[in-house]
């Protein structure tokens, strides 16, 4: 099974996935062709799922990642730079650590999320 799959019925050939791939392994010959994985690209894929998340048509899937792990980007939730700056500068956090062992499952979930 291929790492990168594209549903040609859903794909609008807009090149968003090509432009947004951080590893630059998705290519598109021209505006009339479907995006495809660069030859040997599977080796360099970082499995970030960004290509899946940025496609507004749901045309892409990765065999290494379920669709549930790649939620679509919700443009209505974008915030501007001033809002991010205010959030980060006003955030206060004081930690009082407990002498309690954290389970392996919780640590694994946190690492996978990160």
Predicted TM-score (pTM) of this structure: 0.60
pLDDT score recorded for residue 7: 93
The DSSP symbol for 10 reads T
CB 49 within 8 A of CB 20: no
| Tens-level pLDDT at each residue, the chain (114 residues) | 588 899 999 999 999 999 999 999 999 999 999 999 999 988 999 988 889 888 989 899 888 887 777 676 788 888 889 988 988 888 777 777 788 899 999 999 989 888
Whole-angstrom CA distances from 1 to 40, 47, 69 are 14, 15, 19
Question: Per residue in 2-41, is it b (16+ CB within 10 Å) or e — as a string?
Answer: ebbebeeeebebeebbbebbeeebbebeeeeeebbbbeeb
| Residue spans of beta strands (DSSP E) within the chain | 4-6, 26-27, 36-37, 60-62
Domains of the chain: 4-113 (3.30.70.20)
| Euclidean distance between CA atoms 44 and 21, whole angstroms | 11
Phi–psi pair at 62, nearest 5 degrees:
-115, 135
């Amino acid at each position: 099974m291929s790492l990168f799959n594209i549903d040609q019925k859903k794909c609008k050939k807009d090149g968003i996935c090509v432009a947004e791939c951080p590893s630059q392994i998705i290519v598109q010959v021209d505006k009339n062709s479907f995006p495809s994985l660069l030859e040997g690209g599977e080796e360099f894929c970082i499995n970030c799922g960004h290509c899946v998340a940025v496609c507004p048509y749901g045309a892409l899937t990765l065999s290494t990642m379920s669709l549930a792990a790649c939620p679509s980007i919700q443009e209505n939730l974008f915030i501007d730079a001033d809002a991010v700056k205010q959030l980060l500068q006003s955030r206060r956090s004081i930690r009082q650590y407990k002498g309690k062992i954290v389970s392996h499952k919780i640590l694994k979930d946190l690492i996978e999320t990160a």
